[in-house]
Structure 1
Amino acid sequence: MPLRAPAPENDSRVKAWRKHARDGTLPPVLLTYFTLVERWLVVDGHDRLHAALLEGREPPLLGLWSVIEVPVVEDLSTLFRREGSLKAAELRLRAKPGDVDAVNRILLRDHEAIQRLAVTRAFPLRGGAAAWKAEVTAWRKGSGVEVAPDDWETFLSG
C-alpha cells in the first residue's frame, strides 16, 4: 500500500532505478506494517518499487514491524487453548500429511512463553478529525487512487 502515487514511467528517477533493477543493484524498498488495515505501507522507495515492477523484477524489501512481547499466563485457559491446538494439529495432519512444517510452526507459536503482538503507533493530529479528513481528501484527489464512493464515505465517517 503506497503512501503516495508512483512517479510517471518516463521520470528520470524511475529510469535510473530501472537500470539498477536490471543490474540487480536496487536498494531495498522500506516498508512498515500497519496493524489496523493489516497491510504493509511503503515508507520509502516508491520509485524503486515502481521501477522494479516495470522491469518485471521482484524488488528487494525491508520491512519494519513493531511488536511488543507479553508473557503468557500459565492458567487453565492457556492449557485448554494448547490442548485444542494439539487436537487441531492432529486433525490437519490426518487430512494433509504434507502440512508438517505449517503445523509445527503453529504448535511452536501456541506453546511459547511469550506472546508477540504487532503494534502500530499513532500520534494526535493538530486540528483533530476535521484536519485528518481534509488531509486525506486532498491526498485522494491528487493521488489518482480509485475508490468506490460508498467505501470512501464509510472510511471518512468511521
Structure 2
Amino acid sequence: HHTLAIHWARLVEMVQAAETMIALCTDPEITGDDLRNIPTATPDEGVGIIEAPRGTLIHHYQTDEKGIIKKANLIVATVNNGAAVNMSINKAARALIQPDKEITEGLLNRIEMAWRPYDLCLACASHNLPGHPAMPMYVYNKNKQIVKSWE
C-alpha cells in the first residue's frame, strides 16, 4: 500500500466530515431542546471510542464517589498501528538500504518517513537534534550481523 497516501485520505475524510456536520446541524431530529439527559448520580465508569486522524482512540475511566478518576485505560492509535508501522519501516529499509550504498542521514530520513504518517506523536518524537538519532538504529546483513549502527 502507499503509506504516504494516508494524508490524502485524511483530507478527503475531513471534507466529508465537514459536509456531514453541516447536515447534522440542520437536522430537526437531533437539534431539539429535549435531547439531553442530565445525570442524577455521579457516574462511576465510562468508555468512549472515537475515530481520530491517527486512528481509533479508546478511553475507559473509573471514578470514585466524588467523580475523581481512579483508573484510566487508554488504547491509542500507536497500539493499533504497531504492526503496520513495523511492516512499513521494514519495506522502506529493504528498498532503500543496499549493500554497496553508503547509509547517509538523508537515507535514514527517507526510512523515517515510513512511520510518520501513522501517528502524529511518533512523527514529532522521531525528530532529533542534528547528529543524534532519535533512537538507536542498526543495519544488519543477511547473516544477522550488525554492519552499521547509530546510538
Q: Same fold by TM-score, threshold 0.5 exceeded?
A: no
Larger RCO of the pair (alpha carbons < 8 Å, separation 6+) = 1
Structure-2-length-normalised TM-score: 0.27
Structure-1-length-normalised TM-score: 0.26
Which is richer in strand?
A: 2
Which is richer in helix?
A: 1
